[in-house]
Structure 1
């Protein structure tokens, strides 16, 4: 990526920024952040709200884009987003608050609250809060609560009670509690149920009474609250403008709705020990010790996961954060406690399966705040091509994409999955002309990749062009003789062509 000190807005291909009225202090950091975010918005990479604070002062607050896929209502800094797994910071704090009050103990067995739950005598509150309980994942791709035929989509009206009954029906654990750490949405949902039992209040009411009201977080909610009405809600949609909201009604693992402004109040409340003491909060920033005495780390090995927080705290760093993503909704809550800056990013557009740009945006803002050079993000060619196909003829769009491949390849993300993802977007509504054009283009860009030919063949097969489908499945199989999908499809096509 090209390294810059200042972002030149003219490279954002002449599009008009549609951000709302912003709050920006007059300093270089705020100017550079604003330039970066305008560039990202104008090049299809960001739709959401953002707040950046430094030295105990908000230096940048803004919103870009739209509240839903219809593009009829603009976002504001007061728009309410799904926090997805950032909700876990509230759940863990709720549990620690009860520990601080002596109502709950981290060594308490789950069986004290749910005696009929399988293996509850083996699982402690500490296991739930540190992801070491070994419970099966109720959000598993293609699992029990997914839509049949659409393994990436969740059923509507999935509640904590439904998940509890599902988990109760499973007798086996994934591993012995405390023997390893595996990020667990089921564990945090059960932790929310423990908070209910210990406090005597519904989880949504406890969070409201003990956190939202004291911190004046008037635009924050827990989705499990009955008959909930939320104004200024931001609803999730894909990069290709299809609705894709967080439709789960569970809480604990997710379920909190909030704004960038309220999340900054959350940061301030934690920093000032307004909810729990600093001593109690510091317990959340301790590495989890497993049964064998070893310490756990996250999947990348670069961050430690304590009690509801990812963190890295040593002689040079003092950072605590959490991210979240469900369907098209993504959230980033990042606190550099040592350098005293906070970055809060909420987005309702994109995909949690596609390396959401909030991570790169966060990283580049960190460079800015640390007075380092920062980078422009590469523009996803899938979204550029989507724009071209919706504003020009297919032939014109294809030619322009080829021109970008030749002349501006360093400016765009041309990774193989970009156009493949776009092609499948056009397959879903049976827009075979565009789908085939995109897949063909990807084959030209990646002639040695078996998967792109497999996708191209699928487009022909779905359009009943069986001879062409056979041609490209065979091409895929030549490149990858182990491609079982191509083998299966060729067998099916052989039967279809005989009939």
Structure 2
């Protein structure tokens, strides 16, 4: 129980940053696993502490609620747990043991309100605050991955109903898909998003570019130490930049390209700093074309899409039938309007489209070593410079490696994250450019993690 309390305190210190004024009167929905709870008195946050009504909680648990008016003692008993306290005391009794409150209960409008920390300790529930939706989840110990998948789906359904997520999602844990669904509309005609709906995936394209470079390297057709001048000697800065630097955003190139490659001015000496650069990955796409003798699109199709059965993936979403693809939208002056761009021009930095189902096929191929050999994959997913591998962001943790990418382009946002140690994958694609899908992904992580 002591370990549980320590975990809960750490959880709140990391994830819960309350604004007393903003949240003191805000209604926070509370869910007991998949069940939404009803209270006579809504949960409330007071000076950074959240309280929920004891009567409603006991009722949801099918526990027996008691009240002794003479001693002003409230009790809640069931499931082998006996909890009681008096408003005249700073301690409570739990299974005949006297314990001190961390936060003493409050009486609000005649209702007994118990802090979430005590809920965690007394009733043995994992307590989560989902900051993005301002919801509280009370999660049973030992719930199944399937239940967690339904809870993640319910969360996304609620976000869609609140116009805070529109797209498709797939969540897998322990090598099994626990939820895969579409949310909201793919177009203004009313067609629903589905798990196989293609979306422009923006900078998730960089993962495909990284894999293409790795394949050419594995075939002995290029080296990471090759200079850009080996392929484009006419560029004035080409002799200073290596393929390694292009892959790791350390090439001194700006974020975006204005005009032609030859007109680009380096913003720092290559190899001395790190700045995210779409230009670098556009150049990598051009190198792939020169070395392979194929277009970037054809090379990905031959080497990745077809072999993995990624039938809803390809180059430039504008080439996909309008009745099939998700159309991009953006919020302009308070109105959701259709938007578009020349995605083909993004090349190796952001031209690919895919569905969540197809991206999971890529995920499986990477981690089952069917796309690359184990040794090549490990080179690609090694932290080479800061948090960048080759095409992927890479983060080591105490319980295993994390790889991820997020993208944002005209009309679309995207996110994919794989935690190898905890064995889960989260994939989110949205056809509304204003949606914070990486934050939504963090909320889903809280739900599915043990």
Q: TM-score, normalised by structure 1?
A: 0.59
Is structure 2 residue 228 aligned with structure 1 residue 201? no
The whole-number CA distance in structure 2 between the counterparts of 1:66 and 1:59 is: 22
Asked whether the equivalents of residues 184 and 193 of structure 2 are also in contact (C-alpha less than 8 Å), the reply is yes
Give the Å deviation of 1:4: 4.7
How far the C-alpha of 1:133 sits from its partner, in A, is 1.0
> What is aligned with 1:267?
363
3-state secondary structure, aligned to 2:415: strand
1:276 partnered with 2:394: no
- Structure 1 position 361 matched with structure 2 position 440: yes
Name the counterpart of 1:252.
348
Higher relative contact order (CA 8 A, sep 6+): 1
Match of 2:326 in 1: 234
In the TM superposition, 1:30-109 aligns within 5 A as: 30-68=149-187, 70-109=188-227
Match of 1:29 among 128, 148, 155: 148
CA distance in 2, matches of 1:81, 1:7: 30
Q: Tell me by how many angstroms 1:71 deviates.
A: 4.6
- Deviation of the 1:288 alpha carbon: 3.0
CA distance in structure 1 between the partners assigned to 2:391 and 2:224 by the alignment: 14
Q: Deviations over 1:58-90 (max 9, x none)?
A: 11111011112x252221111110100001000
- Deviation for aligned residue 1:360: 2.5
* Aligned mate of 1:311, from 375, 394, 401: 394
> 2:3 maps to what in 1?
none
Partner residue, 1:437: none
Deviation at 1:332, TM superposition (A): 0.8
Whether the 8 Å CA contact 1:41–1:47 is kept in 2: the answer is yes
Number of residue pairs aligned between Structure 1 and Structure 2: 314
Distance 1:113 1:231 in 2: 40
Q: CA offsets per residue over residues 160-214 of structure 1, 9 Å max, x none? A: xxx6xx12123x3111111111101000000010011111111100000000010
Match status 1:288 vs 2:377: no
Offset from partner CA, 1:243-297 (integer Å, 9 cap, x none): 12354322100010000110110001111211211211212233335xxxxxx3x
- Selected match of 1:168 from 222, 246, 262: 262
- Measure, in 1, the Cα distance between the counterparts of 2:199 and 2:317: 15
Conserved? CA contact 2:228–2:243, under 8 Å? yes
The alignment partner of 2:427 has SS state of: strand
Deviations 1:317-360 (A, max 9, x none): 32111111112300111111111111111000142xxxx33123
Give unpaired runs (5+ residues) of structure 1: 12-24, 145-162, 290-295, 297-303, 372-499
Distance 1:46 1:228 in 2: 23
1: CA distance between counterparts of 2:446 and 2:267? Answer: 40
Return closer, same or farther for 1:219/1:231 CA change in 2, 3 Å cut-off: farther
Per residue, is there more helix in 1 or in 2? 1
Distance 1:77 1:270 in 2: 20
Asked whether the equivalents of residues 84 and 325 of structure 1 are also in contact (C-alpha less than 8 Å), the reply is yes
Deviations 1:422-471 (A, max 9, x none): xxxxxxxxxxxxxxxxxxxxxxxxxxxxxxxxxxxxxxxxxxxxxxxxxx
Alpha-carbon deviation of 1:10?
Answer: 8.9
Match of 1:340 among 423, 427, 436: 423
Q: Secondary structure at the match of 2:325?
A: coil
Residue of structure 2 equivalent to 1:192:
285
Whole-angstrom distance in 1 between the partners of 2:393 and 2:267: 23
User: Given the superposition, is the C-alpha separation of residues 98 and 7 from structure 1 closer, same or farther in structure 2, using an over 3 Å criterion?
Assistant: same
Which aligned pairs between 1:100-499 and structure 2 lie closer than 5 A?
Answer: 100-138=218-256, 144=258, 166-170=260-264, 172-223=265-316, 232-239=324-331, 240-250=335-345, 251-289=347-385, 296=386, 304-351=387-434, 356-371=435-450
RMSD: 2.3
The separation in 2 between residues aligned to 1:214 and 1:27, in whole angstroms, is: 30
Quick one: distance in 1 between partners of 2:354 and 2:34? 30
Structure with the greater alpha carbon radius of gyration: 2
- Helix, strand or coil for the counterpart of 1:238? strand
Q: CA offsets per residue over residues 96-150 of structure 1, 9 Å max, x none?
A: 11111111100111111111012111111111111111123326xxxx4xxxxxx
Aligned mates of 2:229, 2:423 — CA distance in 1: 41
SS of 2:337 mapped into structure 1: coil
Distance verdict in 2 for CA 1:228–1:259, change over 3 Å: closer
Give the TM-score, by structure 2 length: 0.66
CA distance in 1, matches of 2:433, 2:282: 25
Which residue in 1 is equivalent to 2:130?
A: none
**C-alpha distance in structure 1 between counterparts of 2:395 and 2:381, whole Å:** 8
CA contact (8 A) 1:222 1:255 kept: yes
